[in-house]
Amino acid sequence: MRRVIVGWILALVAIVGVAASASAQSATQTKPSNQQTKPKGRPSLYIFSIQGCQPCQRLANEGLTDAEVVAMIERMEYKKVDMALTPNARELHRTHARSGGVPELVLYDGEGRLIGRQVGYETIDTLIEFLRKAFSQEEIARIKAESRTRSAREVNDNTN
What's the CATH number where 90 sits? 3.40.30.10
Residues 6+ apart with CB under 8 A from 58: 121
CB 136 within 8 Å of CB 73: no
Count up the domains in the chain and report the number: 2
In a domain, 79, yes or no: yes
What tens digit of pLDDT does each residue of 71-122 get?
999 999 999 999 999 999 989 988 898 888 899 999 999 999 999 999 999 9
Same domain, 154 and 106: yes
Phi-psi region of 112 (alpha: psi -120 to 50; beta: other; left: phi over 0): left
Give the range of the structural domain holding residue 2, as residue numbers without chain letter: 1-31
In a domain, 37, yes or no: no
In a domain, 38, yes or no: no
Same domain, 128 and 97: yes
In a domain, 149, yes or no: yes
Decide: pTM greater than 0.75.
Answer: no
List residues bridging with 82 in a β-sheet. Answer: 49
